């Protein structure tokens, strides 16, 4: 049984944010890779294969796992993305309110500020004070809060790590069948200088309100 994970890139086999930028290797997008093979076939001590990023990691364009066997093998592939910049999974209550599941800190702060402005929750006299509506009161457990307190109020609502990508797969080993390859598309964020500048601008604008 062979499980192989690797990057195929776009139609030209490239994964790039900029045509002039060097190609990023497959492993550079992930923090960890865990493959769980059928425990009934390989036992509880040999059915896990794990790779975790560390400071000495040598990037690679793919992983291949081989195990002896002549029967189809069920496996679960767990991929933990290495978000750059860091992403956070939101507390479900705030996530539903803002329509965000996982995002960067600047995106979450900007979405919350947009919610405050849309619902006119900013005090008309003390502009740095936010009057929480019933939904924010339930989430932050307060009736009012200062804008400068928002980062501290948000910290307990950030859940880590974000959900992994989970792929259920069956490795076919019938020698009479033609070898087949299954592809999955995974969306990843790549370095974008303009996006970083826009995030800095948005945070600066929010801080000045």
Which is nearest to 49 in space by CA: 27, 59, 31, 34? 34
**Sheet architecture: strand order including 158-159:** 102-104, 87-90, 158-159
* Beta-carbon count within 10 A of 56 CB: 5
The average pLDDT across 18-35 equals 81
Q: Which two tokens stand for residue 9?
A: 């890139």
- Are 24 and 84 spatial neighbours (Cβ–Cβ below 8 Å)? no
Q: Is the pLDDT of residue 15 over 50?
A: no
Alpha carbons 178 and 180: distance in angstroms, whole number: 6
The pLDDT of residue 184 is 84
Among 31-40, 136-145, 171-180, which range has the highest average pLDDT? 136-145
Q: Is the pLDDT of residue 13 over 50?
A: no
3-class DSSP state for residue 148? Answer: helix
Q: Is the pLDDT of residue 11 over 50?
A: no
Q: Detail the DSSP E strand segments found in the chain.
A: 2-6, 30-37, 48-52, 62-66, 73-81, 87-90, 102-104, 129-131, 144-146, 158-159, 165-171
Average pLDDT, the chain: 82
The pLDDT of residue 16 is 47
Tens of pLDDT, residue by residue over 44-68, are 888 899 999 998 999 998 888 887 8
Q: Is the pLDDT of residue 199 over 80?
A: no
Q: Please report, rounded to a whole number, the percentage of residues in the chain having pLDDT higher than 90.
A: 37
* Angstrom distances, CA of residue 107 to CA of 38, 48, 150: 40, 36, 13
């Amino acid at each position: 049984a062979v499980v192989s994970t690797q990057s195929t890139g776009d139609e030209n086999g490239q994964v790039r944010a900029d045509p002039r930028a060097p190609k990023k290797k497959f492993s550079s997008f992930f923090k960890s890779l865990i493959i769980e093979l059928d425990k009934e076939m390989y036992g509880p001590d040999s059915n896990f294969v794990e790779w975790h990023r560390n400071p000495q990691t040598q990037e690679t364009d793919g992983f291949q796992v081989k195990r002896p066997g002549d029967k189809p093998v069920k496996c679960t592939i767990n991929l933990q993305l290495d978000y750059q910049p860091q992403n956070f999974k939101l507390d479900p209550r705030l996530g539903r309110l803002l329509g965000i599941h996982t995002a960067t800190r600047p995106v979450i702060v900007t979405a919350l500020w947009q919610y405050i402005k849309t619902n006119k929750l900013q005090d008309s006299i003390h502009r740095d004070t936010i009057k929480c509506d019933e939904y924010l009161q339930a989430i932050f457990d307060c009736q009012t809060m200062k804008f400068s307190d928002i980062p501290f109020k948000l910290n307990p609502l950030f859940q880590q790590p974000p959900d992994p990508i989970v792929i259920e797969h069956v490795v076919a080993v019938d020698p009479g069948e033609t070898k087949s390859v299954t592809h999955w598309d995974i969306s990843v964020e790549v370095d974008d200088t303009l996006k970083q500048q826009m995030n800095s601008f948005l945070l600066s604008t929010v801080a000045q309100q």
